[in-house]
Amino acid sequence: MSVLSGLRHAVTSLTRRRGQAIAFGVLFRKFRSILERNNRILELMADMGDKLGGDYVFDRQYIHAACEDLGELVFKLVSDLSVLTRRRNDELFAAVTRIQHDIGEELAGRHAFPEVGLTLALPAVSSDLSEGAGNKMAVIGDVRNILGLAAPDGFVVSGKAFLCFMAQGGLPEVVSRWLAGFDGHDQDYLERMAADVGDRILAAELPRPLSGHIQASLDILANRHKPGRLRFAVRSSAWGEDSESSFAGQYATVLNVAPDEVFAAYKEVLASAYSAQAWRYRLDRGYREHEMIMAVGVQLMVEAEASGGLYTMAPVGGEREVMVVNAAWGLGGPVVDGTGEADTFVLSRSAPYAVTSSEIAHKTRALAPGPSSGTELVPVPLELRDAPSLTLSQLERLAQAAMTLERYYKRPQDVEWSIAKDGTLYILQSRPLNLRSRLPGHAACPETATRGAEVVFAGKGQVAQRGVAVGKVFVVASDADLERFPSGAILVSHCTSPRFAKVMREAQGIITDVGSVTGHMATIAREYRVPCVVNSGLASGLLKTGDEITLDATLNAVYRGTLPELSRFELTEVEVFEDAYEYRLLRRVLKRVTPLALVDPQAENFRPASCRTYHDLTRYIHEKAVEELIDLSRKGNAYHGATPRRLATGLPLGLVMIDVDGGLAPGEGEAAMDDVRSVPMRAFIEGLTASNMWSTEPVSVDLKSFMSSFTRPFAAAGRPDTVGRNLAVISRAYANLNLRLGYHFSTIDAFISETVNDNSIYFRFLGGVTDLARRSRRARCIARILEESDFRVEVRGDLVVGRVKKLPMDLMIAKMRLLGGLAGYTRQLDVHMGCDADIKRHADAFMCGIAPVMEENREHHA
């Protein structure tokens, strides 16, 4: 990609003119190369992020190739900086190497990260940690930390702790010896083997570091919960448990455990993995011995009023689309294992989840925590025996939570839950229901489902998150609408907004007219796995609140009416894309690539050692490159003919210009406006000053309100010499500008001459430090302004890139003036972006203010 086409002109004319100036030419070329690589890195990162949406088919080879390209680009970026600064930049090379190594390990299937400890606090657990935390507890992490549902507080004794425990007792060797003599069938042998291994586990001591970690985690929990009498539930969370093979009932759960009994309960759960029955189960399903990793969850006991199980989709009679809840008083064990009497409620699968039938059992006994530990069956008070164990509103809440889980995991769920005495609904466990085996003969036949259905639109816009949503449309036009958003509806909106995060847990699907797959809203939709199509161009015009539709965000089509067959097909797919190894791999890799921590050059952490991702490195190097070029040129004599001169303006712009060829009138010291002969540079300055966009004086009534903030001096003016770290390298026809205004960062590269075909402007804007919503609005506001002015625009989150090429000189000059105005205007713009309506208001106000400036004084350049 040759974004910066002016380079050739600038450098060749420079070297032709003055041999001794080559040194600067070489350094400037390095600087340009840094800018170009910087752009490519940002684009490649955005491309990789796109792939998570589900629109693309990609494979492992792609992930490897993209990581390799990216690593190489970043490495070269550091090399370029080293040439530019003539320093070794050991710390930067170390940071690149570290990140490359971690990504390489991840690609090779060795988990360099996350670094899993012996115990993991629940707030830090999610699906991404499923290998350290085991499947069951990883889900509990999602439930609490992503889906915002309640799960009992606690921690996980990790898979690593399991390996450590087993190794200390020499148990892997014992298991190997036994297995060596096992023919795979002999039941007697299996039972003797299981008994021996189980006994050894129960007899073993916990390794000291492990017992220390568990004790510390218990103490932290006790502190958090003002201990009176803490009791715990200790649950198995093995690899593969609650996944495609459910292992339901194979491993132990120990309830109502006193703090001093936790170690014993831990060993009991571990030993249950080696019961003859569990071992047989694994053998029958082809699990290898080394895949036997048992993490263990330790959670606070819920003081349960009622508990039970729920299937989000179950076959009942002729109806196929129902949810079934089983419930009883007290703890849920007897309900789940089917030994106790339980109420049965059948609910509709769509909001408001009406109860279609209920069967209230005669419940004589309930499971309750024992006086000191363990559990016991106690009689149910007479007046409660025939009363329903759940109220209608509790059922609705339960159904809503369960559907949130189904939407997220893209599979019908089997959920275990408890309602505490204080009314809190706790999710204890959620695992996929295998519908293929449960609904034989009900294999979905999708093309008959869509046959005859009215297609509202198809193939419009892009898929930001795949999946199928069936439900009622709710059109969102304002923030107030979000407050009224009904659970289970499909959100339809003209624009995208990160504010949709608020309703992401309730939304069945999202369709917008505008927006991009790499925007903030799309990222959030992916986080919650809400099927989402953006940039459809027309959805809000065709759909109105209350319309029943089916959104197929996998093949990108919207049908009128509900097509349950389609959603059933999706729910019974062999493998969920989000559960595919490649998806998880790309996600893990991107954690080393895209998050940006280094946003403020004045902040303490703005140094190489703090760079955790490629994005951090890229940002750091860009900043340093600009500083270096300014410092270089300040040193003066070393670069004949390229002495930097400060531009004298009334604004606190602090702009230093390095003239490589006829960009300034001859002279020394500060340069006045009239000294600027560089065509693009002059147009930029005129736009900036003439438009009053940075002025303290009100331009018009409309502009007054937001102009007030521009009177503030540099937001980041920590040290005096950092004010005006703004740089322009210019020649008669060329300008390369690097501007840091407030916390925003803009790059402009422009070549403007009489030769129309050589003319080009590249503009890049990268965001500041306010919240996501404001940042995204500001990006959209800038994009809107650029689009209205015929730039080719790409928006990716905070990043806005605008390009315009091959226009006649006068039009190119007008564009540069626009960018000058924009640079001043956007300095603090995000502060004023309180709501989505501000985008258009500010864009319109700006266009109105800049229009005369774009036209005036053209004779200057004639």
Amino acid occupying residue 18: R
Q: 208-224 and 159-168 are packed helices; what angle lies between their axes, rounded to 10 degrees? A: 140
List the one residue from 569, 751, 762, 846 that touches another protein (CB under 8 A). Answer: 569
445 binds another protein (CB under 8 A): yes
- Look up residue 176 and give its two tokens: 């190997």
- Supply the minimum distance, in Å, between the C-beta of residue 55 and another protein: 5
Residues near another protein (CB under 8 A), total: 27
Alpha helices in 204-309 (DSSP H): 208-224, 262-272, 276-284
- Supply the minimum distance, in Å, between the C-beta of residue 466 and another protein: 8
207 binds another protein (CB under 8 A): no
**Bridging pattern class, strands 509-512 and 532-534:** parallel
216 binds another protein (CB under 8 A): no
- Supply the minimum distance, in Å, between the C-beta of residue 320 and another protein: 17
Q: Which is nearer to another protein, 445 or 648 (CB)?
A: 445
- Look up residue 168 and give its two tokens: 């200390």
**What's the CA angle centered on 722, arms 718 and 724, to 5 degrees?**
125
Residue in the structure block whose two tokens are 């100036």? 21
Residue 641, judged by CB atoms within 10 A of its CB (0-12, 13-18, 19+), counts as middle
Q: Which is nearer to another protein, 65 or 167 (CB)?
A: 65
Which residue stretch of 102-110, 174-182, 472-480, 554-562 sits at the interface with another protein (rule: CB under 8 A)?
Answer: 554-562
- Supply the minimum distance, in Å, between the C-beta of residue 575 and another protein: 5
- Supply the minimum distance, in Å, between the C-beta of residue 342 and another protein: 35
Which residue stretch of 530-538, 572-580, 587-595, 791-799 sits at the interface with another protein (rule: CB under 8 A)?
Answer: 572-580
666 binds another protein (CB under 8 A): no
554 binds another protein (CB under 8 A): yes
Using only C-alpha atoms, the chain has a radius of gyration, in whole angstroms, of 32
- Look up residue 485 and give its two tokens: 């958003």
- Supply the minimum distance, in Å, between the C-beta of residue 576 and another protein: 10
Query: Of 622, 792, 601, 770, which is closest to residue 41 (Cα–Cα)?
Result: 622
- Look up residue 793 and give its two tokens: 């625009």
555 binds another protein (CB under 8 A): yes
Q: How far apart are CA 843 and CA 853, in angstroms?
A: 16
List the one residue from 232, 345, 577, 710 that touches another protein (CB under 8 A). Answer: 577
Q: Which is nearer to another protein, 56 or 182 (CB)?
A: 56
* Run of H or E residues at 328: strand 319-329
Q: Which is nearer to another protein, 314 or 557 (CB)?
A: 557
- Supply the minimum distance, in Å, between the C-beta of residue 214 and another protein: 38
* Run of H or E residues at 166: helix 159-168
397 binds another protein (CB under 8 A): no
**Bridging pattern class, strands 455-458 and 425-432:** unpaired
State the number of CA atoms in the 13 A half-sphere of 391 facing the CB. Answer: 7
List the one residue from 23, 202, 580, 848 that touches another protein (CB under 8 A). Answer: 580
Q: Which is nearer to another protein, 480 or 574 (CB)?
A: 574
627 binds another protein (CB under 8 A): no
Site string for another protein, 496-535 (x = CB under 8 A): ----------------------------------------
457 binds another protein (CB under 8 A): no
Which residue stretch of 388-396, 441-449, 506-514, 708-716 sits at the interface with another protein (rule: CB under 8 A)?
Answer: 441-449
- Supply the minimum distance, in Å, between the C-beta of residue 61 and another protein: 4
556 binds another protein (CB under 8 A): yes
Q: Which is nearer to another protein, 441 or 669 (CB)?
A: 441
Q: How far apart are CA 855 and CA 159, in angstroms?
A: 68
- Supply the minimum distance, in Å, between the C-beta of residue 514 and another protein: 19
- Supply the minimum distance, in Å, between the C-beta of residue 43 and another protein: 15
Q: Which is nearer to another protein, 445 or 638 (CB)?
A: 445
Q: Which strands form 557-560's sheet, in the order they lie side by side?
A: 455-458, 557-560, 548-552, 468-476, 490-493, 509-512, 532-534, 462-465
- Supply the minimum distance, in Å, between the C-beta of residue 410 and another protein: 12
Phi and psi of 269, rounded to 5°? -65, -45
* Helix/strand/coil for 606: coil
Site string for another protein, 34-73 (x = CB under 8 A): -----------------x---xxxxxxxx--x--------
Query: Of 542, 330, 37, 154, which is closest to residue 551 (Cα–Cα)?
Result: 542
Phi and psi of 471, rounded to 5°? 175, -170
Q: Are 153 and 195 in contact, with CB atoms under 8 Å apart?
A: no
Phi and psi of 352, rounded to 5°? -85, 30
Q: Are 150 and 424 in contact, with CB atoms under 8 Å apart?
A: yes
Query: Of 338, 351, 328, 506, which is closest to residue 417 (Cα–Cα)?
Result: 328
- Supply the minimum distance, in Å, between the C-beta of residue 566 and another protein: 8
Q: How far apart are CA 446 and CA 315, in angstroms?
A: 19
- Supply the minimum distance, in Å, between the C-beta of residue 590 and another protein: 15
For 273, 697, 818, the CA distances from 160, given in Å and listed in that order, are: 16, 64, 58
* Helix/strand/coil for 455: strand
455 binds another protein (CB under 8 A): no
- Supply the minimum distance, in Å, between the C-beta of residue 100 and another protein: 21
Which residue stretch of 69-77, 156-164, 380-388, 574-582 sits at the interface with another protein (rule: CB under 8 A)?
Answer: 574-582
Which residue stretch of 416-424, 444-452, 724-732, 800-808 sits at the interface with another protein (rule: CB under 8 A)?
Answer: 444-452
Q: How far apart are CA 126 and CA 145, in angstroms?
A: 7
List the one residue from 115, 188, 422, 447 that touches another protein (CB under 8 A). Answer: 447
Q: Which is nearer to another protein, 238 or 553 (CB)?
A: 553
List the one residue from 573, 631, 794, 810 that touches another protein (CB under 8 A). Answer: 573
- Supply the minimum distance, in Å, between the C-beta of residue 450 and another protein: 8
Q: How far apart are CA 419 and CA 389, in angstroms?
A: 10
Residue in the structure block whose two tokens are 């027309």? 538
- Residue ranges in contact with another protein by CB under 8 A: 51, 55-62, 65, 443, 445-447, 459, 554-556, 566, 569, 573-575, 577, 580-582
